[in-house]
Amino acid sequence: MNVLGPALFTQILLPVLRSTVKVNLQARAVILYLSAHSQALKNAYDNFDLFRTTISQWRTTARYTISKLADIHYAKALSERVPDLKIIPVHPGMVATNLHHESTGLFLKPFLNVAVTLFATPLEKGALSQIWASVSPDAKTGEYYGPVGKSESGSKLAQDHNLQEKVFRYIQAQLDGYIEIIQ
């Protein structure tokens, strides 16, 4: 699952970030998620064993949206466990990248090509949300932010505390043995 790399990186940096927050209260970890999380399957976490495979029976978009849902769940659960550090989940909105080129399906690919061409933020402005979350004193830990610095509630699935805990425990189990895990 695509969330493991960012989670590993974040947790490797946690000791440094926790030391930094002692001298700079604005130290933080910004965790990127995308609004695509709201399209994730409701039973996304029913079988974590699938995440150790390519999940080839699911479309690219299904795998992607589940990964983005896991990002937001991880960020929220981490923010509750590390209250001394700002953990800020943020999404940039639709940015004109080539990520949609891998989408499958006769309908979806042309639709995304048109949508990106007409509505997406230019690549040069796509990082503004992450920059805002990185430096703004107004950014609050555990609060979801969209473009640019707009507070959002996230989808119902994103707000589900039980799912947040479920994915966080899964991530910690996968990282156990490589780094110090967080209970």
In-domain check, residue 126: no
Distance CA 5, CA 158 (A): 20
Q: How far is CA 40 from CA 72, 130, 144, in A?
A: 12, 23, 17
Q: What is the pLDDT of residue 54?
A: 66
Quickly tell me which residue has 């990520």 as its tokens.
Answer: 99
Distances (CA, A) of 77 to 28, 62, 93, 108: 15, 23, 22, 32
What pLDDT score does 116 carry? Answer: 75
pLDDT at residue number 104? 57
What are the residues whose beta carbons fall under 8 Å from the beta carbon of 174, sequence distance 6 or more?
4
Per DSSP, the residues of the chain read: -TTHHHHHHHHHHHHHHHHHHTT-TT-EEEEE--GGGGGS-TTTTS-GGGGGS--TTS-HHHHHHHHHHHHHHHHHHHHHH-TTSEEEEE---SB--SGGGG--STTHHHHHHHHHHHHPBPGGGTTHHHHHHHH-TT--TT-EEETTTEEE---HHHH-HHHHHHHHHHHHHHHBTTB----
pLDDT score of 131: 93
pLDDT value of residue 120 = 81
Asked if residue 127 is part of any domain, the answer here is: no
Number of domains in the chain: 1
Q: Is residue 97 part of a domain?
A: no
In the predicted model, residues of the chain with pLDDT beneath 70 are 1, 37-41, 45, 47-60, 99-105
Residue 99, pLDDT score: 66
Single-letter code of the amino acid located at 110: P
Residue 170 falls inside a structural domain: yes
137: in domain: no
pTM score, whole prediction: 0.83
pLDDT of residue 75: 94
Structural domain containing residue 62: 4-88+153-175
- Each residue's pLDDT tens digit, 85-134: 999 999 888 777 776 666 556 777 777 778 777 888 888 888 899 999 99
- Write down the pLDDT at residue 63: 72
